[in-house]
Structure 1
Amino acid sequence: MKIITLLFIAALVSIEGHAVETGSPRPNIIFILADDLGYGDVQALNPERGKVATPHLDKLASQGMVFTDAHSGSSVCTPTRYGLLTGRYSWRTRLQKGVLDGGNDEPLISAERLTVGRFLQQHGYQTACIGKWHLGFQSEAAPRAAKSKQMGSGGLPLAAQIIGGPTTRGFDLFWGCSNARTMSSVIEGDHVAEILPPIEILPRLTQRAVEYLSAPPQQPFFLYLPLTSPHTPILPSPEWQGKSGVGAYGDFVMQTDACVGQILTALDTAHLAENTLVIFSSDNGCSPQAGTTELEKQGHYASANYRGYKSDIWDGGHRVPFLARWPGTITPGSQSQAVICLGDFMATVADLLKVELPAEAAPDSISFLPNLKDPSLPGRDALVHHSINGQFAVRQGRWKLDLCPGSGGWGHPTDKAAAKKAAPSVQLYDIESDPGEETNLVSQYPEKVTQLTRLLETYITQGRSTPGSPQANDVEVKRPWLSR
């Protein structure tokens, strides 16, 4: 009896100085992040213009909630992952365009920055990251030479130590890789444990995640599962080749869907599903390297009815699938039109635990927990978008201001091409009536352009887009629209 009493008291006291809520069991949390999966790649979200079967994601959507207006923090990889784990826009850091190179990079997340992993550690969770990191780490080992030109075949040598990786940024466990170029160097904890062919990475990381769920820790857990697919190299396993009928990319999407199915089955087998919040999303839109032109000829539109793809400032670059399931809290088959961002995850987790975040943490994160409970509620008031070339857009309600003349990325017309054709230097769209961003209303509503530009300037100069004391950006934030 004395031991039981002491354990009960221990549950009430703080962990690392932070109060832990008692009462109803705290849920396990799984965040599955696909890599370059477009909004329209999920069949349930794009039934008329999607030709790839995704039965497991469709089932997840039917069991939980679909957010139809969810966005990644950027139209490319690294900055989105930064925002997801910190609740802060990446353009406040040194990385204001492009992605980390994936080699010997200084970690983008500073050691002092609170991450969602570290926050959950402080509140009694075990945290695990299985998959693609792409947020930088360093090593004293020289990169090994790739044996072929195939993407993914490079990386660090076996047994190389890494510095500043996931286990120093809030994760108790890590198994995975840096990025698509170096994925064959598989890291466990803080060293390279295996060298694998890229085609084996996705099945292996899925296997590791299933094994984790088959023998879960005694305390609640957070499993961050950033998949390596369907990003290039597009290498579906032999059993999936030819399955989709629209080519290798479609096959890889189907394999990605099957991986999600294995995770959900593992939850059921371990009797964990009822007390687990599962979120599925993507880091940005589908990449043109998937062969989007050929896919569209076959009737598959990976961006659904949205303009652009990965890299672009248009919605196809950053509007992403977002599915959430939490039995007993989320109504099955529900849909929310609330505007949310992946960077809102951290504030949502704090809201879920009923713990206030430190004043300096997650300055751009707004909880969508109320939306999970009531899909009719509105989402965030405004949201900043960012493209691969460092171009900005700001969305407020139905209005979206793209502060560049073209795509802001790889899409056509590029900014340079649009400028040559004397296109307006900015684009204003009514995103509700014109989701394809076809009719530029900048000349009709100059006051809206001014209003939204001022809002963005406020977000930049204040160092935050949420209420609170101003913060400093890491470096001066570049404003490309001022130079035109």
Structure 2
Amino acid sequence: MMKSILKPLLLTLCCFTGAAHAASDKPNIIFILADDLGYGDVHCLNPERCKIATPQMDQLAAQGMVFTDAHSSSSVCTPTRYGILTGRYNWRSRLQNGVLYGFDQPLIPPDRLTVAGFLKTQDYRTAAIGKWHLGLGLPTTHGKTTRGQRATNVDWKGRISGGPVELGFDYYYGISASLDMPPYIYIENDRFVGECTTTKAFHRKGPAHADFEAVDVLPEIGRQSVEYIQQQNADEPFFMYIALTSPHTPIAPSDDWKGNSELGVYGDFVMQTDAVIGEIVSAVDASGLAENTMIVVTSDNGCSAKPSKAKELEQQGHYSSAEFRGYKSDLWDGGHRVPFIVRWPAKVDPGSVSDQTICLTDLIATSAELAGSKLPETAGEDSVSFAPALKGEPMDSSRKGVIHHSIGGKFAYRQGKWKLLLATGSGGWTKEKMPAGTVAQLYDMTADPGEQNNLYNSHPEVAQRLLAQLQSDVKRGRSTDGPELSNDVPVKLKMSGLSKKGK
């Protein structure tokens, strides 16, 4: 009789232990995305020409791995966020250039698999905290969609559709778009937190909650993130996508951070951003979950030159783009080469460095490998796992190269040391005089990371090879191995004079 009782009990205990063990084998994943943080704004990445103290990110790098050749999939906000969550380049969607705004409709359809949706199938808890900026189906008072930055037909008590909780996230807390885009109000899951009863302008004028202030948002994202981490346990893996609102405009450091950098408010805001990242990391350490938690800190694109007053900072010896040319919006590397720091004590050696080329679209494929699973062939079309690089091993990539994209819809293609730009200039906001007769640009990024010596005329065979591969990646609907897929809309390569050279 005792055996018959013990047997099912032992089986139950074994199953429970096995389930707990299986959960512990899957790492927690925390992806922290800064907003407009330049590669050179992190001191340990740019020690000679960074004049801003970033002790928290520096410590994280010392405890983990730095990727020196990591790129956002676009040089501006919304497109990069689309790529991070879907593993697919944004220009395969309807968003061919520019960004969305706070009242715009959802960019990611409900049937598109996101990294959060995939990890939910692998028994992860999932949360998004911070800036969304991928469009939302905001409820309206008369059934028509919202239009413009001062929309007056929003039903503040209604349910929001097409947002994070319909795209794989169990929980969401944040704001609809950038901190300078109305509506200025917090959202929790699929509801507004209160109502917009007034109008404010944090660069752009629009509906606002009476208590909403730009200066409070970054600390609030930090608090919400810490609280969520404190609720987790070792029995169930979790994924967090934390999208900070800084140091994007409005550049609004808290009073206790003003003057700390001696470089003006931009330097102060970068320092506060670093501190909030430190608070999140400290919460992980205090939770007892640090050993098997992979923390990634990166940025959605490079530093935005005008609001940061980048040229004035450079006169003071601080270079937000480090040795790279250009800034946010551009095809030059200053627009999309981003900080990328990974700490995972159980797997990643402290103080390690990888020079392998990766893209922020690679999160979903990496997450799948770390969870011990595979993506469907129709998802993550432009995503490659960087998990091998975390162990110091070469990445097993079927992707021939990485595609860069500017705010103006211009393309560039990076393969090994070579980079081809289908543009006569930056492709973005940076205005620099180019030599007469420039039709395209080709750079050797090993010998010339600052993109100063255009080799297009002297190496036409390289340019044509890269162009052919880019055209193939666009046409096939994917840049990785697998069945051909379709882009959502026709994609045109804006090649300036390069098309005259033939294909």
What SS does structure 2 have at the residue aligned with 1:400? strand
| Aligned equivalent of 2:281 | 264
What SS does structure 2 have at the residue aligned with 1:345?
helix
- Distance in 2 (CA, whole Å) between partners of 1:394 and 1:275 is 35
Once the two structures are superposed, what CA deviation does each residue of 1:386-429 show, in whole Å capped at 9, x if it has no partner?
0000000000110000000000000022xxx65xx634110000
Q: Show the counterpart of 2:111.
A: 112
1:70 aligned partner, one-letter code: A
The letter for the 1-side match of 2:239 is F
Which has the higher mean CA deviation after the structures are superposed, 193-202 or 321-330? Answer: 193-202
Pairing 1:321–2:339 present: yes
Kept in 2: contact 1:156–1:185 (CA 8 A): no
| Matching residue of 2:64 | 64
Distance of aligned partners of 1:298 and 1:128 in 2 relative to their CA distance in 1, 3 Å threshold: same
Question: Which of 215, 234, 243 is the equivalent residue of 1:226?
Answer: 243
Tell me how far apart the structure 2 counterparts of residues 145 and 22 of structure 1 sit (CA, whole Å): 48
In the other structure, the counterpart of 1:38 is 38
Q: Distance in 1 between matches of 2:13 and 2:152?
A: 49
In the TM superposition, residue 10 of structure 1 has moved relative to its aligned partner by 8.1
Say if 2:94 and 2:489, in contact at 8 Å, map to a contact too: yes
Residues 57/179 of structure 1: CA separation in 2 closer, same or farther (3 Å cut)? same
- Matched residue of 1:338: which SS? coil
Residue in structure 2 matching 1:444, options 432, 455, 458: 458
Flag structure 1 segments of 5+ consecutive residues without an equivalent.
14-19, 148-152
Following the alignment from structure 1 to structure 2, what is the Cα–Cα distance between the partners of residues 107 and 7?
Answer: 45
CA spacing shift, 1:134–1:23, aligned 2, 3 Å: closer
Q: What does residue range 175-324 of structure 1 map to in structure 2 within 5 Å? A: 175-180=173-178, 181-182=181-182, 184-194=184-194, 195=209, 196-216=212-232, 218-288=235-305, 289-324=307-342
Number of aligned residue pairs: 467
Structure 1 pair 155–446 and aligned structure 2 pair: CA distance change class (3 A): farther
Q: Deviations over 1:115-156 (max 9, x none)?
A: 000001111011000000111111133779999xxxxx9996
Given that 1:100 and 1:135 are in contact with CA atoms closer than 8 Å, whether structure 2 keeps it comes out as yes
Q: TM-score, structure 2 length as denominator?
A: 0.88
SS at match of 2:356: strand
Q: Who wins on radius of gyration, i.e. which is larger?
A: 2
Cα pair 1:384 1:395 within 8 Å, conserved? yes
Tell me which of 424, 434, 454 is aligned to 1:405.
424
Q: Provide the rounded CA distance (Å) in 2 between the counterparts of 1:271 and 1:161.
A: 37
Letter of the aligned partner of 2:480 in structure 1?
T
Change (3 A) 1:96 1:374: same
Cα-Cα RMSD: 2.4
Q: Secondary structure of 1:245's partner?
A: coil
Report the residue type matching 1:386 in the other structure: H
Q: Please, which of 369, 393, 406 is the counterpart of residue 387 of structure 1?
A: 406
1:358 to 376, 381, 386: 376
TM-score normalised by L of structure 1: 0.91
Q: Match of 1:136, SS?
A: coil
Counterpart-to-counterpart distance in 1, 2:23 and 2:130? 33
1:193 and 1:355, CA in 2 relative to 1: closer, same or farther beyond 3 A?
same
Distance 1:226 1:154, change over 3 A: farther
Report how far residue 157 of structure 1 moved: 7.0
Q: Return closer, same or farther for 1:432/1:188 CA change in 2, 3 Å cut-off.
A: same
Query: For residues 472 and 58 of structure 1, do their structure 2 counterparts lie closer, same or farther at Cα, with a shift above 3 Å needed?
Result: same
Distance 1:94 1:171, change over 3 A: same
**Distance in 1, Cα, partners of 2:166 & 2:16:** 26
Give me the identity figure in percent. Answer: 51
> Amino acid of the residue matched to residue 361 of structure 1?
A
Tell whether the 8 Å contact from 2:298 to 2:338 is kept in structure 1 after alignment: yes
Quote the Cα distance in structure 2 between the aligned partners of 1:301 and 1:164. Answer: 39
2:440 and 2:496 in contact (8 A); partners too: no
Equivalent position of 2:436 in the other structure: 422
Residues 58-79 of structure 1: per-residue CA shift (max 9 Å, x gap) = 0000000000000000000111
Q: Is the 8 A contact 1:21 1:353 kept in 2?
A: no
Gaps of 5+ in 2: 1-5, 195-208
In the alignment, the residues of structure 2 paired with residue 128 and residue 338 of structure 1 have an alpha-carbon distance, to the nearest angstrom, of: 29
Amino acid at match of 2:182: T
Q: What SS does structure 2 have at the residue aligned with 1:174?
A: strand
Report if the CA contact (8 A) 1:129-1:224 is conserved. yes
Q: Does 1:370 align with 2:388?
A: yes
